[in-house]
Structure 1
Amino acid sequence: MSDLAAIKTAARKAGFERRKQAFETAHPAQSSYLSEVLAGYRGVPLSGYVPMRTEIDPLPALGEAAAHGLVGMPVIKAKATPLDFREWTPECAMQEGTFGAWIPATGEWIEPEIVIVPLVAFDRKGGRLGYGGGFYDRTLERLRARRATLAIGFAFASQEADDLPLELTDQPLDMIVTEAGVITPR
């Protein structure tokens, strides 16, 4: 294992632990700031995610957004490829997808202009540490090559790290939203 890989593994482990602790004490209104942010983009196609394990839950905010425009959920079609997004509504039929992620069973494919990104850790510079598969980095690179795409990291405030081990292929976040507020990277 390279030095960078070992540093990333340690940073992920610490991020997972902070996230787990925050999840255990999370309040029901954890997505209220995300709702406020998305209200400013009504009608703009966006993507979110169905939370897994100890991820912060964006579904209440996504449900509100779906009343005003297209919302998609990420679908992994193959290893080491960008994500595709299938249209989602709060009442749509869901099925288990790759890695146990819940995805819409049917629906149109959409291309979001806003991507709400789950994460393990973030920093105030817009750095994001994910699970290590590179799916969101590849996806954001592809979408940003086509048009301006807003990447919003959604996490518990305690998932913030001082400095993350990042690589050139890591796509930056344009904004981070937590249960405690909104952070604009510096």
Structure 2
Amino acid sequence: MSDDPEFPGLSSPPCLMHELSADFRMAERRTAPWAEVAPWRKDERKRLIDERFDLTVDERQASAARIAAGLDAVIPLPVGRIFGIYWPFRGEPDLRDWAIRVMGAGGRIALPVVIEKKQPLEFRLWAPGDPLERGVWDILVPAQGAVVHPHVVVAPVVGFDEERYRLGYGGGFYDRTLAVLPGDPLKIGVGYVKSRLPTIYPQPHDIPMDLIVTD
């Protein structure tokens, strides 16, 4: 949880909590050896990515709009804040329109850049019109721009569990980054509600989000 007084008492946003139906029960946190967890995560990752590729363009747009509304509901006014978001990839919710609205309200946007394998990400300031180039996995990243430390990190999830642990792509970039970012930024995972899992079998290197916002 962030110690920032402008983000008081947040643990899970209403847009997630009201989705928990009476017949849905999360398992208690479970642990398992990494040798067993790693192949399980690989299979779950593929299944969840395949599922989101099955969404139509209209369904993705509607989901992104609902996620954007959820972010607006849990994030204070963005004036003077730096928001680390992401360029959408492999069917992730497209929050670029939301990011532009954040900038219009006085916030700044930074995009993550992979600098080296097994190293933290670097966040670079970006605004519409700034040059982009192809980075790792062919994702667009700022070709230049000041390196900054976000006050809020909005991280895409492939999957997530009740304890707000995120299942990513397996590179560990966000976990390494969140472990070293100064200032204890507010950490928000965003994704599709269908990506919810009973547990991801969290390991010592996994860092939970402060919030999960879904569609």
**TM-score of the superposed pair, with normalisation by structure 1:** 0.86
Counterpart of 2:144 in structure 1 is 106
In the other structure, the counterpart of 2:44 is: 11
Rg: which structure is higher? 2
Match of 2:209 in 1: 173
* Aligned residue runs from structure 1 range 116-135, under 5 A: 116-135=154-173
| Matched length | 177
Q: Does 1:37 align with 2:68?
A: no
Aligned partner of residue 213 in structure 2, secondary structure: strand
Structure 1 residues not aligned, in runs of 5+: 180-186
Q: Which gives a bigger RCO, structure 1 or 2 (Cα 8 Å, sep 6+)?
A: 2
**Residue pair 2:78, 2:107 contacting (<8 A) in 1 also:** no
Contact 1:12–1:129, Cα closer than 8 Å, also in 2: yes
Please give the alpha-carbon distance, in whole angstroms, between the structure 1 residues aligned to 2:96 and 2:71: 10
1:63/1:158 CA distance change after superposition, 3 Å = same
CA RMSD of aligned residues (A): 1.9
Whether the 8 Å contact between 2:61 and 2:94 is mirrored in structure 1 is no
Return closer, same or farther for 1:22/1:173 CA change in 2, 3 Å cut-off.
farther
Q: For 2:83 and 2:49, locate their aligned partners in 1 and report how far apart those are by CA, in whole Å.
A: 26
> How far apart, in 2, do the equivalents of 1:63 and 1:50 lie?
13
Kindly state the Cα deviation for residue 10 of structure 1 after the two structures are TM-superposed.
Answer: 1.9
The one-letter code sitting in structure 2 at the alignment partner of 1:155 is G
Unaligned runs of 5+ in 2: 1-33
Q: Which one is further off, 2-11 or 76-85?
A: 2-11
1:20 to partner: Cα distance: 2.3
Q: Distance in 1 between matches of 2:53 and 2:79?
A: 32
Q: Partner of 1:117: helix, strand, or coil?
A: strand
Taking a change above 3 Å as real, the CA distance of residues 91 and 33 of structure 1, as seen in their structure-2 partners, is farther
Residue 95 of structure 2: aligned partner = 58
% same residue: 32
The change in CA–CA distance for 1:23 and 1:110 in structure 2 (over 3 A counts) is farther
Kindly indicate whether residue 64 of structure 2 is the aligned counterpart of residue 26 of structure 1: no
Give structure 1 regions of 4+ aligned residues with deviation exceeding 3 angstroms.
21-24, 35-42
Task: Give 1:40 deviation, angstroms.
Answer: 3.5
Q: Give 2:191's aligned residue.
A: 155
TM-score by length of 2: 0.75
| Code of the aligned partner of 1:27 | Q
